[in-house]
Structure 1
């Protein structure tokens, strides 16, 4: 039953995107077939081949190695706050784990590693190959293909830097694709952080997160082209502009570490401010009557809105209500907080399959705080199109939400 439910969900998600399209008559129905087909093929290769399990186990050991390496640095700098021997006894396991000193520093290490891999031309080579696949399968232009491929590994602001000289020339549909893909994937700098949070929930979690980010790129391109159809024109990119230039490996590490510091500062600031604002709004909701003997909150209200979408992804209705609230948390508070909440769910709240679906479904920057960051970044890169970027902003969050839901649905279909 769940298999047919998920298949039905894929169709409905595409129909939803088509229903709110700017020009429904311009949509070619070959596009959904190609987009869904590409997602299923990539997901099957990454999830079903025997070698995939070994790859996921290897990546899990990589997560542990990076965690241990980061902890060696945080112990030196922060002492017991960073994982060193405690001068007191913990009241309960994990009581001394502090996000700012134990979780977020992983971003610094990952940022430095990604900068080094860019300098050594390893990641650009992978990006070119993925870009070629997207252009050949979905018929998109080279500029969008390069940006979308880069989004699998870097953030929503860094990826457009690859094609910064072409941003002014992109069509409206191509600009929307760049924005939608940016909000549908996650950066490599935070993948290990999410894997650390969910490591006890899902085995081989880093491999799943990377797979989710990969198959969300074609999903976002599909949804974006349904919502804002192109006119057949495509902007080609004859070269890639790296996100940061360096003359040596050490300079690449230093530059990328500096970018990591800014990213951590943004994350801390956004978490403090957004959580505080949501808390204040929830305090106002406290004056309203309870529903089912439970106070109303933004998360509950958005959870009811997203519950049907979670059901379409292949879950039972009880699981969909919980998952809908996680979707609402991501929209309002970012995917980071949603993953934290997911990791704290009581055992058995979601089935093993539902946990996998939600891991994939939440794997994207489809949130209002992230939209603000992207608008600021893209607006600075191409100020001439700032008004158009603002106009497409909320629509790109919706496109990214549908795209990650499609990714979760595909994962659910392949988990049988």
Structure 2
């Protein structure tokens, strides 16, 4: 092993150490931080990453998942062609001069959310999804000592969104400890919903092999990392393992009722994503126009992306990105934090060839995999505040800290993955 390879291997270890140290320095009560939580959390992340990234059987399962993505995309296009015609992927009734520009995001990619939401509701009704959630909750309980309601909420966040997961433990929100409440919020910020998981994989399929497998792996690994960092930032005074078990009850009467509810529930999400994309991209464009009035630096105009890249470059270098690529990778991390991960993934998929190496693209796929941004904070406060109105002020007070914890979580996962690739 040469010196360069040795130093490259040390980068992610340094990143892990810096992130844990930063969390400890920002802790509300450093003396209450449990060493077992830190050691078990890092160990669980490392083992899960090793198993999910290196075990041949898991790799075969990821290939099956990629075939599922293609099948879902093809099935969704069948529906969009019927409803939207050539805008949804059907044959155009005229000769197209620029077929490369015929892809309409709102009618070709985003309707996948509707199909995934319907399938998720169906799997929940058939008790398949609850079984997966309970299995993962059991793992968190055995390794990290996570109590019943928090363990279930954290596990559910891997498969559903930050507002849907707390619904499973709604009766317990009012009585949860401050640490457990913050842990639930951090898990919501550090993972992504199953409804958009396949969507992001479809964006990245051309630049990241087995994209759906990596995004699912990221969401799985993020859960224990989120609980670890949350437990450091807002420690639990005593173990919560004696908290009550929680039942998961289906709210639908039949399979068709589940499909109908799942579809209708996804319509606001579909519309919200389109609206946020329009507004956020417009705001970035406006900011770039204003920054363009400044003197050029290095022969190129100043832009929001370049500024974010400079600010976040040292951060992404810590998790294993080479310094020569840190500015481009840092810009992606900044876009994800200030705007959202969807725009960041679109930017990652559209980067010119050679901007990031294959290894760096894979690390950033993991580092971007979370909902931690300002827009998500509004959604979380609105959802949790409605479910537990008596604790709304506390939820608001923990909001910005949950964004910090969620961002640190995805960076931590990026560093862990960098150790194994």
TM-score (norm 1): 0.96
Compared with structure 1, are the counterparts of its residues 115 and 298 closer, same or farther at alpha carbon in structure 2 (3 Å cutoff)? same
1:131 aligned residue? 137
Do residues 101 (structure 1) and 124 (structure 2) align?
A: no
Within-5 A mapping of 1:144-223: 144-223=150-229
Q: Which runs of 5+ in 2 are unaligned?
A: 1-6
1:305 pairs, out of 280, 300, 311, with 311
1:64 pairs, out of 60, 70, 77, with 70
Do residues 35 (structure 1) and 35 (structure 2) align?
A: no
Kindly state the Cα deviation for residue 287 of structure 1 after the two structures are TM-superposed: 3.4
Do residues 240 (structure 1) and 247 (structure 2) align?
A: yes
Q: In structure 2, the residue corresponding to 1:168 is in which secondary structure?
A: helix
Contact persistence 2:148–2:246 (CA under 8 A): no
Contact persistence 1:182–1:365 (CA under 8 A): yes
Cα distance in 2 for partners of 1:363, 1:103 equals: 18
1:120 aligned residue? 126
Kindly state the Cα deviation for residue 215 of structure 1 after the two structures are TM-superposed: 0.2
Kindly state the Cα deviation for residue 48 of structure 1 after the two structures are TM-superposed: 0.8
Kindly state the Cα deviation for residue 291 of structure 1 after the two structures are TM-superposed: 2.9
1:370 aligned residue? 376
1:351 pairs, out of 328, 353, 357, with 357
Contact persistence 1:131–1:145 (CA under 8 A): yes
Contact persistence 1:181–1:221 (CA under 8 A): yes
Contact persistence 1:161–1:241 (CA under 8 A): no
Kindly state the Cα deviation for residue 279 of structure 1 after the two structures are TM-superposed: 3.1
2:149 pairs, out of 143, 147, 166, with 143
TM-score (norm 2): 0.95
Compared with structure 1, are the counterparts of its residues 73 and 367 closer, same or farther at alpha carbon in structure 2 (3 Å cutoff)? same
Kindly state the Cα deviation for residue 90 of structure 1 after the two structures are TM-superposed: 4.1
1:284 aligned residue? 290
Q: Which runs of 5+ in 1 are unaligned?
A: none
Deviation string for 1:353-396 (max 9, x for gaps)? 11110001101111111111111111111111111111111111
Contact persistence 2:145–2:239 (CA under 8 A): no
Within-5 A mapping of 1:241-256: 241-242=248-249, 245-256=251-262
1:385 pairs, out of 391, 406, 411, with 391
